[in-house]
Every structure is written in structure tokens, then in C-alpha cells.
């Protein structure tokens, strides 16, 4: 444990043998005479991609408002939409409908049909990928990385890239596109796609500095002890110097860390037990349950934000052409097959159930952020979450009227409680540009933007 000056440094960590636990913001970290809010307000960004577009981008979906509500402005009804689960968070919600992702379209005849294999690279870059199966990949610098470059020196980890589905599918990408375009949504530069991490254990170990090598981390896990056991001495020493409110805050945070670790251990124990797995090729730390996997990743992001370990996450929630079945929806058809609904009303409505299910997982994360203190507000007040897809109607592989929403107040830059319906032909890049400006970047263009879209009504 390290203490500087007359107050606790924001960079204070608890250290033990092969473990480093960063701390949440405590009253003791605010210098005397410093306004708490001014010292604490740091903006966080989570950019999430869901593949295969949405049922609401079809003619029937537009008529029935299967994605976005009928009315623009503040008086909108989410009931018929796939966003219904977000209604309790409408004060934090900015829905943006009717934007297009032109750069995900085929520009030349050889690119026709390859929409699934270039779309992920377009979502956060809003740039058209160079068609290649070689090493000369080229797209654009992604939105998350532009923000990470701005704040990279302020946190131990500049950014993290997470995913749910498998990556590195050798031979699994087609139409002349490298798998690099399908495997990642985060690009450090136009030629540098960043690897995404699927295993919650790997994320946990990176966040808490567990072990210098994979072998050291494995040895620690074999001892069947919590990371908090290794820093117990530092915890007790720190608690003795804190006031009651800070002790309670620290206790809640450490409980969250321990509970995440316990859940990861439970998953690992089950997956190592010899039972048949739904995902036999997945790493041992990956739950077979899609919902549990997503929630673990959300929890890891929340504790990372609370301790200011990083302020930037890119989160790829599925993989193009994934045929995973989401049993909780009542739809037995695989995801990709369901997205090719052949304009049949019954199949479009089934696809809408899958869309609704995916969105229904977001409130878990929003609630966690809303109830995590951050200065004079909450993490949700000081975060910007982007959720969307670079595809519109997946049945015809188009990229018009793509699903998109923003959540959080971005430190007061977003009012929320808005449905912004863009004029026909508006690039999604206009929304991305506006988001970057809300995050404090002095930038006048992004991708194929035509200008910054007004998001506050």
C-alpha cells in the first residue's frame, strides 16, 4: 500500500504476492479544499457491437416499430420495441434511428456478398476495409481508440477489448476478407486491429495484476485461494486509516471483486469436471451460458471503472454468422439463420424476440453503473455507452436504418430521454462524431461523417 502527502493517492493499490488490487474512489483520495466533483469526473466509454442488424430495419419492422419507437423527441413508447427493457432507464437513454453505414456496403463487384466479413471492422471505424486475406489489412482508427489515445496516460490500462464468441477461426472467413476484420471491432490505427479477450479469467487476471506469467497465475489458482487473501494485510492496514463511509465503500468494492472471482472459479470447476459442455472448444473460464458470460464481462467492466483501471472498453457481443441458439427467447432457430427471415412475418417476429433478448441484458450493466458512486454522481452519469450494429436488414445484407442507442450522461454532455430520428441517408458516422465530441475530443470529422448530429434535442 502506498500513501502520498496528507491524503490517499488516487493511484493507491493493495499489493500482495503476485497480485495488485486498485481501489475505488474514496473520500480520503480527495485533497483538502478540492471540490469532490471536480477531482472525480472522468468519462468512461463502452462501445458494444451486436451483429446481424435487427428486425426493426425491415419494412414490417418499421411499420410495427420493432426496434425504435414511433415518436421522436421525449414522449416515446418503448413497449412495442426491442428496447422495452430499457424503459426504467429512459432518463439515461438516447435512441438514434434511421442512420446508415455506407462504408459497410460493397464498393466493387468482388466485395458483393462479403458483408458479414467486413462489417465488424466498420462499426467503430466507419471506414471501408481493404479486401484482403493477407497481412495488408486496412480500415480506420476506431472510436474507442481515439478516446483511449486521449486518456491513455491517466490509467494503468489504456483500453480493453472483450468479446463473447470465439475468435481466430483459421479458414473461417470468406469472400476474400482476412479474419482480422471479423475478429475485432477495435483498431489502434488503420492497420492495427486489436485482439479481443473472451475468457473472463484472463480479464480478471489482467485487471488485478495476478501473476507475472501464465504459469505463476496457474500456480496461484491451484492453491484455491482468493486474490483478496494475498492482499489481506494491506486491506486491514488501509481500513484502519479510513473513516466509516470509506470503509463501507471499500468493503462493497472488495465484495464485488470477490464475488466475480467466485463466479469465475465456479465456471472453471464445472468446465473441468468432465461434464459435456455446450461450448466444448471454449476456454475453461468461459461459461456455456451466454447470459452469465455477458454478465461476468459487465461486472468486470464495472469494477475496472470503479477503480479507474481503464476508462475504455470495446465489447463485441457476438460474431457474424454465429448460429448460437438463445434458448431463453423461445426461438429454436440459430441466430444467423433467424436473421435470414425471407421477409416472412412469423420469422421476422422471431428475430425480433432475439433482438429484444439481447437488449434485455443491458439493464444489468446500467443498474450496476447507476449504483456505483463516482464523485458527486454515479458511474452511469459519467459514462457513455454505445450499442448498435453496422447492419440493417440482415435478410438482404443491407446497412440502412441500422440499430443504434446511447446510454449514460457522459458527465452531463448527454441529456438522455431522447429519441433522435435522423433524416434519410444520415451516416451513422455523424453520431459517432458527436459522441467523440461529447467525450472531449476536438475533432471535426470521422469516417464518412457529413457533420455532427445533434443528440440533445
Domain of 270, in residue numbers: 1-36+220-282
**pLDDT bracket for residue 56 (50, 70, 90):** very high
Residue 209 domain flag: no
pLDDT at position 6 is: 46
> Is there a single domain that holds both residue 140 and residue 15?
no
The pLDDT of residue 4: 40
Residue pair 82/66 in contact by the 8 Å Cβ criterion: yes
User: What one-character-per-residue DSSP string does 364-406 give?
Assistant: HHHHHHHTSEETTEETTTTEEEEEE-S-S-GGGT--SSB-EEE
Residue where one domain finishes, among candidates 282, 304, 319: 282
Kindly state whether residues 290 and 265 are assigned to the same domain: no
The pLDDT, as a whole number, for residue 375 is 85
**DSSP secondary structure string for all residues of 174-232:** -TT--HHHHH-S-EEETTEEPP-B--HHHHHHHHTT--SSHHHHHHHHHTT--HHHHTH
**What is the rounded average pLDDT of the residues 8-20?**
80
Residues 138 and 266 in one domain: no
Do residues 57 and 193 share a domain?
yes
Is residue 345 in a domain? yes
pTM for this predicted structure: 0.94
Q: What is the per-residue pLDDT across 317-334, written as a single tens digit (0 to 9) for each?
A: 999 999 999 988 999 999
Q: Is residue 213 part of a domain?
A: no
Averaged pLDDT for residues 306-322: 96
Evaluate whether residue 207 is within a structural domain.
Answer: no
31/47 same-domain check: no
Q: What DSSP letter does each residue of 125-144 carry, written as one string?
A: T--PPP--SSS-------HH
pLDDT in tens, 404-446: 999 999 999 999 999 999 999 999 999 999 999 999 999 999 9
Whether 124 and 235 share a structural domain: no
In which band, very low, low, confident or very high, does the pLDDT at 457 lie, cut at 50, 70 and 90? confident
Please tell me the least confidently modeled range out of 13-22, 30-39, 42-51, 75-84. 30-39
- Tell me what the pLDDT averaged over the chain comes to: 92
Residues 62 and 83 in one domain: yes
The domain boundary residue, chosen from 254, 282, 310: 282
Mean pLDDT of the 324-346 span: 96
Residue 111 in domain? yes
CATH code where residue 428 lies: 3.40.720
The yes-or-no verdict on residue 215 having pLDDT over 90 is no
User: What total number of domains does the chain contain?
Assistant: 2
Check whether 35 has a pLDDT greater than 60: no
> Which residue, 226, 223, 218, is CA-closest to 263?
226
Mean pLDDT within 131-138: 94
Last residue in a domain, options 251, 282, 313? 282
- Distance CA(366)–CA(329), nearest Å, equals 21
Q: Which of 138-142, 234-238, 324-328, 382-386 has the lowest mean pLDDT?
A: 234-238
Residue 21, pLDDT > 70, answer: yes
Tens digits of residue pLDDT in 151-197:
999 999 999 999 999 876 655 688 999 999 999 999 999 999 999 99
Percent of the chain with pLDDT over 70: 92
Tally helices (H) and strands (E) across the chain.
15, 13
Same domain, 28 and 46: no
Q: What was the pLDDT predicted at 171?
A: 52
Report the C-alpha gap between 309 and 394 in whole angstroms: 37
pLDDT, mean of residues 27-46: 72
Same structural domain, 428 and 341? yes
Query: What pLDDT was estimated at residue 173?
Result: 81
Separation between Cα atoms, residue 116 and residue 95, nearest integer Å: 24
> Tell me, what's the pLDDT at 223?
57
Q: What is the mean pLDDT of residues 264-275?
A: 93
CA angle 395, 400, 402 (to 5 degrees): 90
pLDDT given at position 47: 98
Poorest-confidence range of 2-11, 143-152, 430-439?
2-11
Tell whether 165 and 227 lie within a shared domain: no
pLDDT value for 221: 59
Which of 12-21, 262-271, 360-369 comes out lowest in average pLDDT? 12-21
Mean pLDDT value across residues 249-272:
95
How far apart CA 235 and CA 102 sit, in angstroms, is 53
- Give the pLDDT mean for 212-239: 74
Same domain, 238 and 91: no
**277, 291: one domain:** no
* 445 is a domain residue: no
Decide if pLDDT at 124 tops 50: yes
The answer to whether the CB of 89 falls within 8 A of the CB of 78 is no
69 lies in some domain: yes
The SS3 call for residue 48 is strand
**Is the pLDDT reported for residue 133 higher than 50?**
yes
User: Is residue 185 situated within a structural domain?
Assistant: yes
- Tell whether the model's pLDDT for residue 31 goes beyond 90: no
Interval 42-69 mean pLDDT: 97
The mean pLDDT of 386-391, rounded to a whole number, is: 98
pLDDT the model gives residue 39 = 46
Which pLDDT score is estimated for 213?
Answer: 58
pLDDT band at 129 (very low <50, low <70, confident <90, very high): very high
Amino acid at each position: 500500500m502506498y500513501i502520498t502527502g496528507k491524503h490517499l493517492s488516487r493511484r493507491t493499490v493493495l499489493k500482495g504476492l503476485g497480485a495488485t488490487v486498485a481501489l475505488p474512489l474514496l473520500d480520503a483520495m480527495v485533497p483538502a479544499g478540492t471540490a469532490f466533483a471536480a477531482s472525480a469526473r472522468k468519462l468512461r466509454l463502452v462501445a458494444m457491437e451486436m451483429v446481424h442488424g435487427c428486425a426493426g430495419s425491415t419494412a414490417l419492422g418499421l411499420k410495427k416499430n420493432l426496434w425504435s419507437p414511433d415518436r421522436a423527441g421525449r414522449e416515446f413508447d418503448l413497449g412495442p420495441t426491442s428496447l422495452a427493457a430499457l424503459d426504467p432507464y429512459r432518463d439515461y437513454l438516447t435512441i438514434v434511428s434511421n442512420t446508415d453505414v455506407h462504408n459497410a456496403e460493397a464498393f466493387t463487384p468482388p466485395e458483393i456478398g462479403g458483408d458479414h466479413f467486413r462489417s465488424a471492422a466498420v462499426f467503430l471505424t466507419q471506414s471501408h476495409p481493404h479486401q484482403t486475406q493477407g497481412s495488408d489489412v486496412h480500415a480506420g482508427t476506431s472510436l474507442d481508440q481515439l478516446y483511449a489515445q486521449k486518456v491513455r496516460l491517466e490509467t494503468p490500462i489504456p483500453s480493453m477489448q472483450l468479446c463473447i464468441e470465439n475468435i481466430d477461426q483459421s479458414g473461417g472467413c470468406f469472400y476474400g476478407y482476412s479474419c482480422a476484420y471479423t475478429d475485432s471491432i477495435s483498431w489502434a490505427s488503420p492497420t492495427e486491429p486489436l485482439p479481443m479477450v473472451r475468457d473472463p479469467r484472463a480479464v480478471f487476471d489482467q485487471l488485478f495484476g495476478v501473476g507475472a506469467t501464465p504459469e505463476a497465475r496457474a500456480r496461484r489458482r491451484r492453491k484455491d485461494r482468493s486474490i483478496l487473501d494475498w492482499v489481506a494485510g494491506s486491506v486491514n492496514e488501509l481500513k484502519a486509516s479510513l473513516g466509516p463511509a470509506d470503509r463501507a465503500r471499500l468493503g462493497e468494492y472488495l465484495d464485488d471483486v470477490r464475488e466475480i472471482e467466485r463466479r469465475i472459479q465456479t465456471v472453471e470447476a464445472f468446465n473441468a469436471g468432465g461434464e459435456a459442455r455446450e461450448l466444448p472448444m471454449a476456454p475453461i473460464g468461459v461459461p456455456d451460458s451466454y447470459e452469465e458470460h455477458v454478465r461476468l464481462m459487465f461486472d468486470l467492466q464495472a469494477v475496472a471503472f470503479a477503480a479507474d483501471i481503464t476508462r475504455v472498453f470495446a465489447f463485441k457481443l457476438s460474431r457474424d454468422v454465429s448460429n448460437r441458439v438463445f434458448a431463453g427467447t423461445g426461438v429454436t432457430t440459430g441466430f444467423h439463420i433467424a436473421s435470414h427471415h425471407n421477409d416472412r412475418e412469423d420469422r421476422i417476429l422471431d428475430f425480433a424476440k432475439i433482438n429484444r433478448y439481447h437488449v434485455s441484458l443491458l439493464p444489468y450493466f446500467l443498474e450496476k453503473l447507476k449504483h456505483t458512486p463516482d464523485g458527486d454522481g454515479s458511474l452511469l452519469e459519467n459514462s457513455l455507452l454505445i450499442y448498435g450494429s453496422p447492419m440493417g436488414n440482415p435478410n438482404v445484407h443491407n446497412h440502412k436504418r441500422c440499430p443504434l442507442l446511447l446510454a449514460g450522461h457522459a458527465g452531463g454532455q448527454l441529456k438522455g430521454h431522447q429519441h433522435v430520428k435522423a433524416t434519410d441517408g444520415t451516416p451513422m458516422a455523424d453520431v459517432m462524431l458527436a459522441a467523440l465530441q461529447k467525450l472531449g475530443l476536438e475533432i471535426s470529422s470521422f469516417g464518412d461523417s457529413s457533420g455532427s448530429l445533434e443528440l440533445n434535442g
